[in-house]
Structure 1
């Protein structure tokens, strides 16, 4: 595609990948306003057309501060383009430290926002059906945005609720009744929210799947591990009481969303809350992402057209760790300064060596990892394919970017579990510690 995608709008960096294609950054040449654009190749994904139609039909009616905003859709040749709100804060999973979690106050705030968004969806008769940290984005103000409605469906219309029977979602996050069919939408989504809270507080998933095949889940059901083993050992009685209601095996005994929102743990900073997770830095940098508003967005659619450095290896330790320049095919007359973006992401670092040496060092680390394959591209990137602890596929990409005389090594998850991706990143970062530049905030 040409860089000038729509007159006055330029095609930027890849933000992520979905089931049917990539998500790209599109930026207004004059104002710097940014929009995320899903690109779906209908020739490559022949079954995507119906999915896109259903997803956009649901999203176009949604308006809520904690739900990703839909702007419109454009069809061109064999491609479908969906325009969405751009979230410069990255993904929620990036804020979760493996085996540690995050600060309790942050987990509580994110959880409140998640429930607010889910409550709104359910009030509109929409079930998300794939709530997990990878589908929860953060805007420039660090607020939750529920995204990816590829598995969403309407479960209530004109006051009449129907049972759902499609088995979908991500196994560690799905409710047990989803594996048994049929099931009610609201309790199933709420269960997934509860698993997200567990991962935020502990940095681990409580089980691989909610079935008799998994001992950890069976132990939870009989109440034999509360407060003692697994992710529960670092949690207070207050949050354990909350989770017991959310993660009740029988959906009829599960707490309703309204009851969860009114639980004491949700509204107060309890004296026995202990931050087992890492304390994220206070970001004093002013993000350059403008609010998506006004005539510019409309014109696009009109074409329809603390001191834990030694353990929290993936947290930023300098301002430079937050920088990422949009890699764009700019016209010679365009000002590159307009397109400089600051993004809160933890999975990157600067190295004090040239590209060739950095690639050699990284591939040596990858070679030492079990069941790890990689491919080096001609555009200074490496695609890594491996499997996680659940034997599920894990794919991530590493890009090498020259910035201010230094080399930025940027890691981005393409497919798989965010927590497992972060674990791999931590391992790699520790192995490259001798060439990583620390504390250079110029």
Structure 2
């Protein structure tokens, strides 16, 4: 998905208000993700009670950066795809200034989280996810759609553990194929990208996607990447030669299939049709069952049509209330922050495991939490901007991927309990990880620990002292 950031500024005045925002029949909730051109928010359909995710884009920004073609392509792509293993796009709406893309909301988190938390998957479990991935990619290709940025972070899980492919921001539709029948846009994530894309001489989108699927399968079963180097040229060298070694725990048939997928020569690389017929792949395979639907793309063009009938435009309505307290997080949103219905992940016990967002709970007053974060972030070289119970921390120095920018929000879960969410808006994830480790040192008095956690910590200290 194309994500986006929005800077916040100023302090909280006595006349400030906060509250819920309604767009059409949807009530907007917490922010799920941010990037350069959009923001994704949790939302609830007030007619049906269904939870959804809404991507919100600023029309002016999209036009200014000449992104209309890419946005139309992304929306068209998502509307064309109706498959149980692909994130569903329900509808597209527009106001005078914004575009709203209403999508399926899944609560199982990223497939990448499983690997980051548990390490490598068992071969049978990895095969199950790989089968679902191939099902989705094969269907996309049958509709003339190529993803071009397949990686574990773009593979989500629903509450039943069903794989859902997301993020078609880099996808290619048939009209992007040149006269030579090949695609010519270099894109994707370096570790997962096929050698022919790096070569920049044109490539077959289906074969390039399959290469990425092969890298994903390797990561699922190994717990690490087949091609990894800190130097980009050294990385490309390994990819060009398909210089990798399968771990000893891979079965012989899995090794053979992965080597056929990660063939640097696209003309001899195995095809998806051949993968589906492969004996290792077929074990326990269940073809997807779903109904085909006719798709109308008329509304995609209409959202950028300035002469559009104003009666078709939606309006943002804010149900305002005095901002004497942080936004209250309802049960639906509380559950949406956890993996499935397991609320234990809300109370981050392992402070070291940080990805692109993290959260902790506190029994301190909201104003004190905000003040403590500000005090801790300042000496670390971050400029702090506050807006009610939201903060934006902007790194003064540029890192590996530009300036690190972090958004923070305090939610009221109960009268005496707050949840604090920190999310990387821009910059490098590893730098965010280091920032949070340093920040958490200054927040020891703020983070709430359950009594059993405190006892466990005391026991751990006692145990370690016995060993020394």
TM-score by length of 1: 0.69
The whole-number CA distance in structure 1 between the counterparts of 2:388 and 2:227 is: 39
Q: Is 1:195 paired with 2:212?
A: no
Contact 1:3 1:329 in 2 (8 A): yes
Q: In terms of Rg, which structure is larger?
A: 2
Structure 1 match to 2:55 = 38
Structure 2 match to 1:380 = 389
Matches within 5 A, 1:132-143: 132-143=151-162
Q: Secondary structure at the match of 1:60?
A: helix
Structure 2 match to 1:409 = 420
Cα 1:57–1:357 shift into 2, 3 Å: same
The whole-number CA distance in structure 1 between the counterparts of 2:238 and 2:429 is: 25
Contact 2:146 2:209 in 1 (8 A): yes
The whole-number CA distance in structure 2 between the counterparts of 1:171 and 1:246 is: 17
Cα 1:391–1:250 shift into 2, 3 Å: farther
Q: Is 1:88 paired with 2:107?
A: yes
Contact 1:135 1:148 in 2 (8 A): yes
Contact 1:226 1:233 in 2 (8 A): no
Alignment length (residue pairs): 377
Once the 2 structures are TM-superposed, how far is the Cα of residue 191 of structure 1 from its aligned partner? 1.4
Contact 1:37 1:83 in 2 (8 A): yes
Structure 1 match to 2:262 = 247
The whole-number CA distance in structure 2 between the counterparts of 1:244 and 1:252 is: 14
Q: Secondary structure at the match of 2:34?
A: strand
Once the 2 structures are TM-superposed, how far is the Cα of residue 126 of structure 1 from its aligned partner? 0.7
Structure 2 match to 1:324 = none
Once the 2 structures are TM-superposed, how far is the Cα of residue 127 of structure 1 from its aligned partner? 0.6
The whole-number CA distance in structure 2 between the counterparts of 1:36 and 1:147 is: 12
Of the three residues 215, 218, 237, the one matched with 2:234 is 215
The farther-off stretch of 341-350 and 63-72 is 341-350
Cα 1:416–1:94 shift into 2, 3 Å: farther
Once the 2 structures are TM-superposed, how far is the Cα of residue 414 of structure 1 from its aligned partner? 3.4
1:65-90 per-residue CA deviation (whole Å, 9 max, x = no partner) reads 01111122122212222121122223
The whole-number CA distance in structure 2 between the counterparts of 1:403 and 1:413 is: 22
Structure 2 match to 1:392 = 401
Matches within 5 A, 1:84-233: 84-97=103-116, 100-155=119-174, 162-180=181-199, 181-207=201-227, 214-216=233-235, 218-219=237-238, 226-227=245-246, 232=247
Matches within 5 A, 1:312-331: none
Q: Is 1:78 paired with 2:78?
A: no
Once the 2 structures are TM-superposed, how far is the Cα of residue 21 of structure 1 from its aligned partner? 0.9
Contact 2:329 2:412 in 1 (8 A): no
The whole-number CA distance in structure 2 between the counterparts of 1:197 and 1:77 is: 44
The whole-number CA distance in structure 1 between the counterparts of 2:241 and 2:361 is: 48
Contact 1:155 1:161 in 2 (8 A): no
Q: Is 1:342 paired with 2:339?
A: no
Q: Secondary structure at the match of 1:84?
A: strand
Structure 1 match to 2:342 = none
Contact 2:196 2:266 in 1 (8 A): yes
Cα 1:220–1:121 shift into 2, 3 Å: closer
Q: Is 1:54 paired with 2:73?
A: yes
Coordinate RMSD, CA, aligned: 4.4
Once the 2 structures are TM-superposed, how far is the Cα of residue 146 of structure 1 from its aligned partner? 1.6
The whole-number CA distance in structure 1 between the counterparts of 2:372 and 2:222 is: 32
Q: Is 1:437 paired with 2:456?
A: no
Once the 2 structures are TM-superposed, how far is the Cα of residue 189 of structure 1 from its aligned partner? 0.8
1:271-312 per-residue CA deviation (whole Å, 9 max, x = no partner) reads xxxxxxxxxxxxxxxxxxxxxxxxxxxxxx9x856xxxxxxx
Cα 1:201–1:60 shift into 2, 3 Å: same
Structure 2 match to 1:260 = 275
Once the 2 structures are TM-superposed, how far is the Cα of residue 249 of structure 1 from its aligned partner? 1.3
Cα 1:149–1:397 shift into 2, 3 Å: same
Contact 2:34 2:425 in 1 (8 A): yes
Contact 1:110 1:144 in 2 (8 A): yes
Cα 1:220–1:3 shift into 2, 3 Å: closer
Cα 1:408–1:204 shift into 2, 3 Å: farther
